[in-house]
Amino acid sequence: MSTEAIPAERPKRNYNALFGLTLLALLVLLWIILSVATPSFASANNISNLLRQGSMIAILAVGQTFVIITGGIDLSVGAVVGFATVIVAMLINAGVPIFLAILITLLVGVAIGLFHGFGIVKMGLPPFIITLATLTSLRGIGLLMTNGNSISINNDAFQLFSRSSFLGVPNLFWMVILVGIPAYIFLHHSRWGRYLFSVGSNAEASRLSGVNVQRTIYMAYTLSGLCAAFVGVLLASRIGIGNPTQAEGWELQAIASSVIGGTSLFGAVGSVHGPLLGAFILATINNGANLLNVNAFWQRIITGVLIIVIVYFDGLRRRGK
C-alpha cells in the first residue's frame, strides 16, 4: 500500500535548464559585485587568469560528473593529473613528438579508468575504495619514476600553448569548450548518456532492460580518467614541469564543482553545464578573495559554506518546497 498514489508531481521539464540559469545568475552576480568592489577584477588580465584557473577543474568536474551519475565516485583524478604531468614531461624530454606524447598520456588516463572499471565490475570493489587506492599508489609510482624530483619540460612550443589566447580568450578555456560540447551531446543526447542515468538509478532494472551495465561503468570511469589525463597535459603545459605531487586535492574541488552544479551523490541526477558553472563559481570566489586580500585560509572555509548552502537550496527546490 506504499504503492498508492503519491500526488503526481508537476512536470519538471526545464528543471536542469532552470537550475543552470540560477547558477549562471549567481556567477554573474559574483562578477558584478567583484567588479565594483575591486578595481582589478574586471581587467582583461584578471579575467584571463580566472578563466585559466577555472578551466582545469571544470574539465575534471565533467568527467567526475559522469562517474557520480552512475552512483560512483572517482577520488583518483587529482593523482591522475599529477601522474599525467610526469608521463607527458618524460615523453617530451625523450624527444617524442608532442602530439604522440599527448596521445600516449591520454591513453594512460584511459588505462587507469579501465582499471577502475575492472576493480568495480570484476573484483566487486566499491568505487570509493578502488579509486582511493589509485589515488595513493599513483602518487607513489610517479615519485618512484622521478626520484621525487620535478622534471622540467624543455620544449617551449608545448608551454606556449597554455599561455596563449585565441580570439582574445585563453586557450585553456577553449579546451573547456572542446570537452564540454561533446560531453553535453554525449550525456543528454546519446543513448550511452541515458544508460549512465539508468544505471545510477537502478542497475538491476537497467540490466533486465538490456542495458550493458558493466560496459556503462567501464565507460564512466574511462571518461573520467581521460578527462584527468587531459587536464594533466594542460597543467604540464601551464607550469612547464612534470611533478607527481601536483594537483593535490583537485579531486575534492572537482567533486565540489559537480555537486554545486546540481549533481546528486546518490546518482541519476546531473548535467554537463552544472559542473562547468560550479567550477567557475569556485574559481571566482578564490580569485575574488585573493583580490580582496582575504586570508587564504578563509577561502577554504567560504568554499565549504558555499557547498552546504547551494546543495541545501537545491535539495529544497527538488522536494518542491
Which amino acid type is present at position 250? Answer: W
- On whether the CB atoms of residues 46 and 207 are closer than 8 A, the answer is no
- Nearer Cβ to other proteins (48/201): 201
Distance CA 91, CA 152 (A): 12
Q: For helices 44-69 and 273-291, what crossing angle results, to 10°? A: 140
Q: Which of 11, 39, 95, 249 binds other proteins (CB under 8 A)?
A: 11
Q: Which of 165, 202, 290, 299 binds other proteins (CB under 8 A)?
A: 202
Q: Which range binds other proteins by CB under 8 A, 91-99, 198-206, 239-247, 274-282?
A: 198-206
In the complex, what is the shortest distance from the CB of residue 62 to other proteins, in angstroms, rounded to a whole number? 17
311 binds other proteins (CB under 8 A): no
- Nearer Cβ to other proteins (72/142): 72
In the complex, what is the shortest distance from the CB of residue 100 to other proteins, in angstroms, rounded to a whole number? 27
Instruction: Write the interaction track for other proteins spanning residues 212-231; mark x where CB under 8 A is met and - where it is not.
Output: x-------------------
Residues in contact with 282: Cβ distance below 8 Å, sequence separation at least 6, in sequence order: 54, 57, 253, 256, 257, 260, 303, 306
Task: Please tell me the total number of residues recorded for the chain in this structure.
Answer: 321
Q: Which range binds other proteins by CB under 8 A, 1-9, 53-61, 75-83, 241-249?
A: 1-9
Q: Which of 95, 210, 296, 308 binds other proteins (CB under 8 A)?
A: 210
Q: Which of 211, 233, 234, 241 binds other proteins (CB under 8 A)?
A: 211
**DSSP three-state, residue 222:** helix
In the complex, what is the shortest distance from the CB of residue 192 to other proteins, in angstroms, rounded to a whole number? 7
Name beta bridge partners: 169. Answer: 166
Cell 560528473, located at residue = 65
207 binds other proteins (CB under 8 A): yes
Q: Which of 26, 268, 285, 302 binds other proteins (CB under 8 A)?
A: 268
User: Which H/E stretch holds residue 242?
Assistant: strand 241-242
265 binds other proteins (CB under 8 A): no
* Cell (9 digits) for 308: 552546504
10 binds other proteins (CB under 8 A): yes
Name beta bridge partners: 226. Answer: none
269 binds other proteins (CB under 8 A): yes
Distance CA 84, CA 237 (A): 11
- On whether the CB atoms of residues 277 and 261 are closer than 8 A, the answer is yes
- On whether the CB atoms of residues 250 and 57 are closer than 8 A, the answer is yes
Q: Which of 160, 177, 190, 292 binds other proteins (CB under 8 A)?
A: 190
The residue ranges that bind other proteins (CB under 8 A) are: 1-13, 185-186, 189-192, 194-195, 197-198, 201-202, 204-212, 268-269
